[in-house]
Structure 1
Amino acid sequence: MDFKEASRRAAVLVEKMTAEEKISQLLYNSPAIERLGIKEHNWWNEALHGVARAGTATVFPQTIGMAASFDPDKLREAADVISTEARAKYNQSDKFGDHGIYKNLTFWSPNINIFRDPRWGRGQETYGEDPFLTAMMGCAFIGGIQGDGEFLKAAACAKHFAVHSGPEKERHFFDAVVSKQDLWETYLPAFEWAVTRANVRGIMGAYNRTNGQPCCAHTELMGEILFGKWNFEGYFVSDCGAIHDIFASHHYTDSHVESAAVSLKRGCDLNCGEIYTKLIDAYETDLITDEDLTRAATHLYAIRFMLGEFEEERPYSDIPFTTLDCPSHRALNLEMAKKTLVLLKNEDNFLPLSPEKVKTIAAVGPNVQSVRVLEGNYEGRASHYITVADGIRDVFTDSSVYVADGCKLSSGGKGTHADWFSVGSAAASNAEVTVLCVGLDSSIEGEEGAADSVKGYCDGGDRLVLTLPPVQRELVDKICDVTDNLVIVIMAGSPVDVGERARAHAKAIIQAWYPGAVGGRAIAELLAGRFSPSARMPITLPTEGTLPDFTDYSMDGRTYRFLTDAPEYPFGYGLGYTDFRYENLRTERTDEGARVTVTVTNTGGMAGEEPVQIYAKYADSRFRTPNCQLCGIKTVKLAPGESSDVIVDVDDYWLKTVDNEGNRVDPEGGVTLYAGGHQPDARSDELTGYACLRKKLEN
């Protein structure tokens, strides 16, 4: 059912409602209207990387990890599993008449904000720092959630529209000031693609203001762009409490009644919060009209019709509860987890280890036995968890595995934990190889109110520095003192600097993110060489001290596209256990943009996947342009010695650059396209040992 037909049917139903009933339906916890046969409907549900907060579900790697796969097709498979489990849960909840919170099919996911600053605690929920990668992954996720059937399998909701990425502590009163160029070049593309290409059916407005106006009552973002230029067909919901902030924190209106009225009239259909209870006062004082109420209610009921709620035979009603975290879903979860692990360093091919030859392994660190670190935030509850220690024991069956936490994430080494360091050191000093699992978890990076503050390190969910917490830095030093055969596994939702000594001393370093319920198994299989890692960094790890002020939303000096200093680990970078050669780059113009063809050969000794990356460089002196811009990706799997002509189609959208007024224009000096397994910058060339191919795109 398309939106037009659903809206027609919705309008017939909404016409039967009184003004008071319409108002009641604009609250996220919409009550039943028994005289019309309408059930209660709580719109709030979450599914960033699995159905969250509602019992057993497949817990996939956190979003930032899945972004590291650079594989939209695999992400769509994961999202399809998520929507299957969503239907399974809904079928049971509906059977028992439970339509409360976390029970329905309207999911406030994905988060397609740009991870512009690696200190942001909620960056783990995003697809990284790049607008193209975020757009591609976001569209893939939306496609998997919503499906291709006659009815929506579930309804996705892209958030937080549109300029939102910290600081968490200031989100309720902050004004994100951005130029037109940054708005259209960085912050809007993923939302534009979600609306115009993926037909996302929900948009959530952010807490903050953008250029002076609250994001849930924004004339330009909502009226001119979303409902105007993009012709959005879906519903708009406020973040939870955001309309309360319009008066209480932003002081944009003179009362909550006025806040409710201005939000509704500017296009916010649904209030997560209670301020829309004030709409009755707004209606009685002529601040809003019945037409305003009808429009919003019709948008909301169109989605419910598209989900098949009012059909005699409910769609997808045959999906059983037994699909939840079932063996086939766990198998896909393991595939996904393997594709998230970024190999940052592998000195002298130290990895992979041989399970037959390595007799003793120390598995050390505060995350080595942690379940919480597997999950990230907005998590479900898996039926099976495999920690890193579990995975190493399972894969290295002939090895003795010495396990020690060494310290806590952000405390330890003192008082009751005085012996923790020595236990970790003892394990490491008596093992042939030490696997040191350090990093963070959602207790110290995450959303405001959901993460702890650690003095001098993190505040309100955001980090203050890019290094490890002090106690972990001390643990790393002590482990470096007692072993040379060290593998560091960084488990975090953001890039973490383990320190100069550790980077130099460790034989191998792996960025593992929050790898999902079976992530420990994936890490162990990587260590044992059961697959060649193929993940790439979806966000830059800059060198310490080079970041702009966190509150500055200008893109100058941020992300790989506008950095001026060489980073520690660049966006798009990652190593494998096999090598790929690129040659014979060809480019041609097409009606839709450009077609890029490059020959890729596996020149190494094992089969492997390679995420082929295409970048554009724009020649234009009239305004600032990015250092380069990712514009195409395709994963190819090759056996040793095998070659393939990889074809990547680049949409014309990404062949244009953005001027100072926010217009997409053809660069005056044309476009040069680059192909390789990383971005075309000196630091990536240095780390990988080769440069990307390049070719000017002819008109």
Structure 2
Amino acid sequence: MKNNKISMLELLKPRRYRFLIPGILLTLWSCNSNKKTTVFEYQNENLSIEKRVEDLIKQMTLKEKISQMRFDAPAIERLGIPEYNWWNECLHGVARAGEATVFPQAIGMGATWNPSLIFEMGTVVSDEARAKHHKFVEEGKRGISQGLTFWTPNINIFRDPRWGRGQETYGEDPFLTSRIGVNYIKGLQGDDDKYLKVVATAKHFAVHSGPEKSRHQDNYQTTNKDLYETYLPAFEAAVKEAKVYSVMCAYNRYRDVPCCGSDLLLSKILREDWGFKGYVVSDCWAINDFWQEENHGVVKTPAEAGAMAVRNGTDLNCGNVFDPNLNEAVLKELVDESQIDIALTRLFKARFELGMFDDPEHVKWSKIPYNVVASDKHLALSEKIAKQSMVLLKNDNNILPLKKDIKSIAVIGPNANAVQSLLGNYHGTPHNFITPLKAIKDKLPNTQVNYALGSDIASGWPTLNHIPASVLKNGNQSGLKGEYFSKRNFEGKPTLTKTDSIVDFIWTPVRPIKDLKSDVFSVRWTGDIVPEQTGLYRIALKASSYGKLFVNDSLYVEFSADHEPQTRYFDLELKQGKSYPVKIEYHNTLSDPQAHLLWAKLNEDLLTPAIEAAKKSEVVLLCLGLSPEIEGEEMPVELEGFDKGDRSSLKLPKTQIELMKKIHALGKPTIVVLMNGSALAVNWAAENVPAILEAWYPGELGGKAIADVLFGDYNPSGRLPITFYKSVTDLPDFKNYNMENRTYKYFKGDPLFPFGHGLSYTSFEYSNLNIPEKVKINEGIEVTVQVKNTGALAGDEVVQFYLTHEDKQDESPIRTLVGFERIHLEVGETKTVNHIIDADQYASITPEGEKLIESGNLLISVGGKQPGFKGLANANSTEVLSRSILLTN
């Protein structure tokens, strides 16, 4: 037993208040201050966390307890508890907290099929998270996106390609999702026996994958078989294997009950069946849906909603229902205060395990220096992941890789130079924006690079650029007058006044006012817009925190961005040479301040310049796809093919199809690069364009990865983590959550490109497949195969193991991924790959949702792709071997 006693000499040391004689509350005086400081038993690091948490909670009033169950928990000064904001994101790098390394979007992480690499990424991201958090605390900052509890990863199954948030997932397969998710969680939470590095959060629990526009009302039903075969495995792995500390419950209802108030999901499955010991956080404002009639409306009042959530296992509210309504709920005996204490115990246990109430010198993770943030090492890892995520979908006649000695190349398309399509959603602020255009110019300094936009990303969604200084006037000067205030709401006199040529600011890490330590400041820009051409313009303000935009003294844009930058726009007819007074009011409270004044002239001819660029080039690179500005979380966007963040069509937008056909008609060698977060039915391109590269939203260095693949400096090796279908008509109704005819496991049609598909610049041969002819049930199946690089280049192969129940074709998946391994092979090199398929993996899931292992015939397929496809859907740079075995009693 440890000796908890502390000498009086220790207690009298200046400013030392962390320890005390157990059981005694002491009041001390600072030697350098007249301020009285109270030391509590919970501050004794020598006590167990359980005792410390118990001591803290028993000293709190009911009101104080409830205040700590909201995401923006206030300080309780009398108990020495600092304020804490639980809301942080690190989907693919620390997000919304200023400078950070931006890695490829999550769907690209899935396309690497490389869990160990994603573990490395998790370690790097949590390094940056820790370094940033401690710097924030030193600066007295404890706001949103500045803590250590991260609402990542999103391990929902990407069951339908229409879902706008599918980009946040690792794909459509539960096993691949679990392997990537478990490794990312482990990398984030660290390996220390005493302290968590950060808290990871598996979300959204459960049965959640769109539609976005009705997520607050929808009530999903599934069979038990689908629940346990598809929707729960990744969450179970996160809890049991990765020991994820937090789970976020989903917006929707499942089997008539809101997920954040579901006894089945949160109490029985999560805690009783899986033994989850951490805390559950609601999705943001999800509990409001419980009582709002236009949403779930399952209870009448906020007090009932809060009580329902807490009774059934939701501990933390991202929203405003718990505080103050839980007070009323306790008084009305809708929920017992002891249940409040249980939730609070879980929450404070997390804060203690993060070391938040201990001397930072004792916390291993507090010593990570700030210079790791966006370091060269971390940027190199981002580039490596981007390269491994690239999926070569098609390469007729080996048109790729391109030669570097070409004299001219046309780089065309809405994603050729689009910054946002590098980043995806939920991202940080990077140092680099290496678009495909920039990367190709850098790679080919002696080549004429002819760039043209070619088309908008979609009809009605123009490409916005910063309004240039040439049309902004501040008296006789070009630009706008900027008045900078060191306080919010333009209080007092400006600290700084200057002319800004354009409004294009990302103040990270340096703030606009010298020596400003706070995140709170405001800016007012005034002047005139004097357009050089008459026309209809779209004018937009993109900013973090709070913004207003006035033209002609009329307020056109006003918004509050409480956690990430927002873009708001309007369309206005402007006349050449006429002055239009403009005013922007911006004030910041977040740690990644930015402001941008943008515009685009509508109805311009973008096609003609693209055709001219292509005509004078040897090769054409078309950078097409989607944008996180039109696919994502619950958006106001309504365009042809897009619906409030989701998609209503799988095709490329018409503007891009027209561009592609016009360029192809010129007869030039043409390559299509797709940048997107979800599957695209690029049927015409697949039939007519010789090469297609899927690049996803590839991170801040994504353009460099694309260029390296196109010009042969990297051999592509990514594999699709989702199925590319030919049409939305191939799919069931979006709101139908039964898995019939969805994903590679159950889809009975012909995909355009199947799950697991991906080409290489080299070729791989499989031989000597060794599997026992018979295996006793409940024993592992040992599989051995040799893989040889038979091509002319070194490269990576993703060896995939699939299993089919031959006797149960009508009631089981067509095939199931049960293993994979990414290996590197030099030219002519052969490696032996060994894999064991566990009994749990060949078990069938019964209609009741239970695992059943019984005798029968299994077909096992091993190769660099799924078996059984022809034509484009069949990757010709690899192969598959299959063998049947018998499971016996």
TM-score bracket for this pair, using the shorter chain length: over 0.9
Aligned-partner SS, 2:143? coil
Q: How far apart are residue 518 of structure 1 and its match?
A: 0.2
**In 2: Cα distance, 1:235 partner to 1:662 partner:** 26
Q: Which string of whole-angstrom CA distances, capped at 9 and with x for unpartnered residues, describes residues 450-507 of structure 1?
A: x6221x310110000000111111111111111330000011001112342x222212
Q: How far apart are residue 394 of structure 1 and its match?
A: 1.3
Give unmatched runs, 5+ long, in structure 2: 1-46, 463-535, 537-600
Query: Which residue of the other structure, out of 791, 801, 825, is the alignment partner of 1:638?
Result: 825
The residue aligned with 1:299 is: 346
1:409 equivalent to 2:453? Answer no
Q: Relative to structure 1, is the Cα distance of residues 315 and 32 closer, same or farther in structure 2, using a 3 angstrom cutoff?
A: farther
**In 2: Cα distance, 1:441 partner to 1:155 partner:** 30
Aligned-partner SS, 2:202? strand
Correspondence 1:277-676 to 2 at 5 A: 277=323, 278-312=325-359, 313=361, 314-356=363-405, 358-411=406-459, 416-449=602-635, 452-454=637-639, 456-500=640-684, 502-544=685-727, 545-587=729-771, 593-621=780-808, 624-676=811-863
The residue aligned with 2:34 is: none
Instruction: Kindly provide the amino acid, as one letter, of the partner of residue 307 in structure 1.
Output: L
Aligned-residue CA RMSD (Å): 1.8
The residue aligned with 2:57 is: 14
Q: Is the 8 A contact 1:261 1:287 kept in 2?
A: yes
Q: Which string of whole-angstrom CA distances, capped at 9 and with x for unpartnered residues, describes residues 552-608 of structure 1?
A: 111001000001111000000000101111111223669873332211101011110
The residue aligned with 1:122 is: 165
The residue aligned with 1:191 is: 235
What count of residue pairs does the alignment treat as equivalent? 692
Q: Is the 8 A contact 2:281 2:317 kept in 1?
A: yes
1:153 equivalent to 2:197? Answer yes
Q: How far apart are residue 384 of structure 1 and its match?
A: 1.3
**In 2: Cα distance, 1:7 partner to 1:656 partner:** 39
Q: Is the 8 A contact 1:486 1:505 kept in 2?
A: no
**In 2: Cα distance, 1:5 partner to 1:495 partner:** 50
Q: Is the 8 A contact 1:69 1:339 kept in 2?
A: yes
Question: What TM-score does the superposition give when structure 1 sets the normalisation length?
Answer: 0.96
Aligned-partner SS, 1:317? helix
Q: Which string of whole-angstrom CA distances, capped at 9 and with x for unpartnered residues, describes residues 215-262 of structure 1?
A: 001011111100110010111000001100011111111211111001
Q: Is the 8 A contact 1:685 1:691 kept in 2?
A: no
> Which deviates further from its counterpart, 26-35 or 684-693?
684-693
Q: Is the 8 A contact 1:247 1:259 kept in 2?
A: yes
**In 1: Cα distance, 2:611 partner to 2:854 partner:** 57
Q: Is the 8 A contact 2:766 2:879 kept in 1?
A: no
Report the structure, 1 or 2, having the larger strand content.
Answer: 2
Instruction: Kindly provide the amino acid, as one letter, of the partner of residue 205 in structure 2.
Output: F
> Which deviates further from its counterpart, 680-689 or 133-142?
680-689
The residue aligned with 1:677 is: 864
Aligned-partner SS, 2:860? strand
The residue aligned with 1:693 is: 881
**In 2: Cα distance, 1:657 partner to 1:141 partner:** 28
Instruction: Kindly provide the amino acid, as one letter, of the partner of residue 158 in structure 1.
Output: A
Query: Which residue of the other structure, out of 309, 312, 326, is the alignment partner of 1:266?
Result: 312
Q: Is the 8 A contact 2:410 2:619 kept in 1?
A: yes
Instruction: Kindly provide the amino acid, as one letter, of the partner of residue 60 in structure 2.
Output: M
Give unmatched runs, 5+ long, in structure 1: none
Q: How far apart are residue 668 of structure 1 and its match?
A: 4.2
Q: Which string of whole-angstrom CA distances, capped at 9 and with x for unpartnered residues, describes residues 116-155 of structure 1?
A: 0001000000000001011111101101111111311111
Q: Which one scores higher on RCO, CA 8 angstroms, separation ≥ 6?
A: 1
The residue aligned with 2:475 is: none
Aligned-partner SS, 1:482? coil
Query: Which residue of the other structure, out of 241, 253, 269, is the alignment partner of 2:285?
Result: 241
**In 1: Cα distance, 2:49 partner to 2:438 partner:** 49
Aligned-partner SS, 2:623? strand
Q: Is the 8 A contact 2:855 2:886 kept in 1?
A: no
Q: Relative to structure 1, is the Cα distance of residues 207 and 592 closer, same or farther in structure 2, using a 3 angstrom cutoff?
A: farther
**In 1: Cα distance, 2:714 partner to 2:633 partner:** 34
* Higher radius of gyration, 1 or 2: 2
**In 2: Cα distance, 1:285 partner to 1:529 partner:** 69
Instruction: Kindly provide the amino acid, as one letter, of the partner of residue 667 in structure 2.
Output: T
**In 2: Cα distance, 1:382 partner to 1:684 partner:** 41
**In 2: Cα distance, 1:416 partner to 1:94 partner:** 46
Q: Relative to structure 1, is the Cα distance of residues 592 and 51 closer, same or farther in structure 2, using a 3 angstrom cutoff?
A: farther
Q: Is the 8 A contact 1:407 1:417 kept in 2?
A: no
Q: Is the 8 A contact 2:683 2:752 kept in 1?
A: no
Q: How far apart are residue 673 of structure 1 and its match?
A: 1.8
The residue aligned with 2:257 is: 213
Q: Report the identity percentage.
A: 44
**In 2: Cα distance, 1:234 partner to 1:686 partner:** 43
> Which deviates further from its counterpart, 229-238 or 412-421?
412-421
Q: How far apart are residue 618 of structure 1 and its match?
A: 1.6
Q: Which string of whole-angstrom CA distances, capped at 9 and with x for unpartnered residues, describes residues 358-415 of structure 1?
A: 1111000000011100000001110111000011111122211111111111137998
Aligned-partner SS, 2:127? helix
The residue aligned with 2:26 is: none
Q: Relative to structure 1, is the Cα distance of residues 558 and 684 closer, same or farther in structure 2, using a 3 angstrom cutoff?
A: farther
Q: How far apart are residue 688 of structure 1 and its match?
A: 2.1
**In 1: Cα distance, 2:407 partner to 2:51 partner:** 69
Instruction: Kindly provide the amino acid, as one letter, of the partner of residue 380 in structure 1.
Output: G
Q: Is the 8 A contact 1:204 1:239 kept in 2?
A: yes
Q: How far apart are residue 685 of structure 1 and its match?
A: 8.9
Aligned-partner SS, 2:808? coil
Aligned-partner SS, 2:803? strand
Question: What TM-score does the superposition give when structure 2 sets the normalisation length?
Answer: 0.76
